[in-house]
Amino acid sequence: MPGAFALAVCGCGGGDESGSGGAGFKQGNGGSGPGPTGAGAGAGPGTCTVFPADNWWNKDISGAAVDPKSDAYVASIGLDVGVHPDFGSVYGIPYVYVDGSVPKSSVTFDYADESDAGPYPIPASPPIEDGGDHHILMIHTGECVLYELYAAEQQADGSWHAGSGAIWDLKKNSTRPAGWTSADAAGLPIFPGLARYDEAVDQGEIKHALRFTVDTTQKAYVAPASHYASDQTGADLPPMGLRMRLRASVDLSGAPASAKAVLTALQKYGMFLADNGSNWYISGAPDMKWSDDDLGFIKSLHGSDFEAIETGPLTY
């Protein structure tokens, strides 16, 4: 399916939080769970694609117009600030495949009015993002549906509580209702924006946009985002959902294969501003097969190597 990317086995290499600032993951409470590959009970890649080929995550924006405020947005994030791959052999945002053999659980939410009620197919001992966000990402290969939780925690009685939750039908193009969050601050799905080893190295190509964070965002969002997470109104600050593109002039000829796949995707598909966090941190899934040394090439880039593309009017 041109432009859409298919599911493959999750790279959930375990580990603690990395000294570079990336989040590792921990196993949740309960019995035996996903193994080193993160494939849950009975799970496999299936035939699901991650949204239709014409979805914004899968759109080639290499020829898109530059936003008139691109220079201001980039300067506000930091022209000389280094880019950081917030993933590697032991850190990143993990995910897990599930199927019909995994029972679905009810979840209570802090932000129930902006969360999908569920239930959610949480496997025993799921991989949970370490650090403050505690995301759980579950791809149901029988339904082709993505289930995501933010600040997920299993209670002493075995029940689950989370800050927020969102359910995404991977067969459709859809967004959250205006003003709603998701499991991510911008109201976007998380899994589609992760750099994954199976794509970057095994397939040699990432065919979708990625996800990144900045420290200070504007009290505004641009589609396909649906939510802001700031009280700052400065017009030069980036809005949630802003799409950045690596400049075509950046020479990738010396990049190791894994880093080159990530950076080529940033030139062709760009990356969405999805959350508040460290400036120019790009998200990915952990996998013990990543070479952290090779991914280190990405750190040679700076904010000045990026430009914002024009994606539409802001919602305040």
Mean pLDDT of the chain: 88
Q: Is residue 92 part of a domain?
A: yes
Please tell me the distance from the alpha carbon of residue 124 to that of residue 221, in angstroms, as a whole number: 36
pLDDT tens figures, 275-288: 999 999 999 999 99
Please tell me the distance from the alpha carbon of residue 18 to that of residue 22, in angstroms, as a whole number: 5
Q: What is the pTM of this model?
A: 0.89
Q: Is residue 3 part of a domain?
A: no
Q: Is residue 7 part of a domain?
A: no
Q: Is residue 130 part of a domain?
A: yes
Q: Is residue 200 part of a domain?
A: yes
The domain of 148 spans: 25-315
Q: Is residue 2 part of a domain?
A: no
> What is the percentage of the chain residues whose pLDDT exceeds 70?
85
Which residues are within 8 A (CB) of 215 and not within 5 positions of it... i.e. 6 or more apart? Answer: 77, 276, 277, 278, 279
Whether residue 228 has pLDDT greater than 90: yes
Q: What local confidence, expressed as pLDDT, does residue 45 receive?
A: 54
* Residue spans of beta strands (DSSP E) within the chain: 25-27, 84-86, 96-98, 107-109, 127-129, 136-140, 145-150, 153-154, 160-162, 164-169, 210-214, 221-222, 243-246, 271-276, 281-283, 306-308, 314-315
* Residue type at 155 in one-letter notation: Q
How many structural domains are present in the chain? Answer: 1
Q: Is residue 16 part of a domain?
A: no
Three-class SS state of 108: strand
Q: Is residue 19 part of a domain?
A: no
